[in-house]
Amino acid sequence: MSDQLIPINIVIGDRTYRIKIDTKDEEAVRHTVKIINDKIVEFKTNFAGKDMQDYVAMVMVWYATLQIPQTNQQIVEGEMLQKLQSLESALDKALE
């Protein structure tokens, strides 16, 4: 059963968004928003003269890139598990 959805306001860059989330996810969402806003400030410091949309886009690329190693690792682990199961099955058949 899912927790009750609660409305919260988040601010990313200069904009406020009202979203509904599970109560159990509130801390994680607020932490993620803080990371995003901290990174926007960092990009604003390093790349002066852009507009907020540019900074938000830069953060999106940065954040998405962080996810790639985890995704690749999950794929490798899944393939390895499948090969190990296949090997185990072959060994079981050979021992029968």
**For the purposes of burial, counting CB atoms within 10 Å of the CB of 39, is it exposed (0-12), middle (13-18) or buried (19 or more)?**
middle
Checking if the pLDDT of 83 tops 70, the result is yes
Whole-structure pTM value: 0.64
Q: Which residues contact 54 (CB under 8 A, 6 or more apart)?
A: 47
Checking if the pLDDT of 91 tops 80, the result is no
Question: Could you report the per-residue pLDDT of 13-68, keeping only the tens digit for each?
Answer: 989 999 999 999 999 999 999 999 999 999 999 998 889 999 999 999 998 888 77
Instruction: Average the pLDDT over 75-92 and give the result.
Output: 74
What local confidence, expressed as pLDDT, does residue 1 receive? 46
In the chain, how long is the greatest CA-to-CA distance? 72
Would you say the C-alpha torsion 52, 10, 24, 34 has a positive or negative sign? positive
Checking if the pLDDT of 78 tops 90, the result is no
What local confidence, expressed as pLDDT, does residue 65 receive? 85
- Better pLDDT: 25 or 88: 25
The structural domains of the chain, with segments of one domain joined by +, span 5-95
